[in-house]
Amino acid sequence: MKSIILPCLICLIMLLMLCCEKETTSDTIVVCVPRSTTQVWLFPGQLVTSTYQGNTFVEKKTNFSDTVKVDELLLAVSTGTTNLLSLFGDEGRFIEFFAPEEEVGASANKTLEQALVDSYESYMKRSQKEGSSSKQKDNVVPIEYRRTGVTAFNLVALDAPLFDIPAGATLNDHVEIVGYFPDYIVDARNELLLYGFGDVEKPTTVQQWLALKPLVQPTLQVKLTGSFPLLPLDTRFAVTLETTEGMVLSDTTQTIHLLN
């Protein structure tokens, strides 16, 4: 990790000069980073619930063994370009921010970028007033966005039936969206902001999300919902994403051992 610090800092400086750099009313600088969409990755993770002082917290972990309770399975659908594949060493894909713009960039939409910055700043002001732990302390905040719309999304279990649905058939009716990263949704037809940072009424089903005709999300986090009568079982999961540019993108996880 130490060996990439200097290159990362150099790339950071380049991005601050070339990307959307906007100062907020706080001490942070928001950098909007448009990316092309030529690749999708499906990462398994785990939802870990804990209680502290009477409050319940759910932590989203991206590193876990190949065995997980089915109601704790988290699947992260991330998008970008093939050039980013070598950058997935760091959890959270923050390292993508340091990727050279000429390799993975797309043309910027300055109107959309201003809307994203305004939404982010408004959310942070609300969080600070409410004393929320989400208060941003970083001096530089990257906001990723895509310039491609999504027309279809399907998640399948490749090796075993789930919910009485045959292996290889879509599980969309049993998929719940639990996170949009970054936390916004944009209309692909006019690239206007539909939901901003902190908006709590975002769609939670695939059908609701697709009905908005949205831009591709940099990362979408989902979990499975319903009854699971045939556990334990072993299966790989696969995702297919179709874009307004006519591309069909897909990825498959390793085999996951699901438990009750």
Q: Which pLDDT value is given to residue 137?
A: 54
Report the alpha-carbon distance of residue 17 to residue 26 in Å, rounded.
20
Q: Which pLDDT value is given to residue 57?
A: 79
Cα of 225 vs its chain's centroid, Å: 19
- Centre a 10 Å sphere on the Cβ of residue 102 and count the other Cβ atoms it contains: 9
Contact 210, 150 (CB under 8 A): yes
Report the alpha-carbon distance of residue 181 to residue 76 in Å, rounded.
10
Query: Per-residue b/e over 204-235, b at no fewer than 16 CB within 10 Å?
Result: ebbeebeebebbbbbbbbbbbbbebeeeebeb
- Centre a 10 Å sphere on the Cβ of residue 37 and count the other Cβ atoms it contains: 24
Q: Which pLDDT value is given to residue 70?
A: 92
| Per-position pLDDT tens, the chain of length 260 | 434 443 443 344 344 444 445 544 457 788 898 988 999 999 999 988 888 877 887 888 876 678 999 999 999 999 988 766 555 544 444 444 445 555 557 899 999 999 999 999 999 998 887 765 444 555 788 899 999 999 999 999 999 999 999 999 999 999 999 999 999 999 999 999 999 999 989 999 999 999 999 999 999 999 999 887 778 999 999 999 999 999 999 999 999 999 98
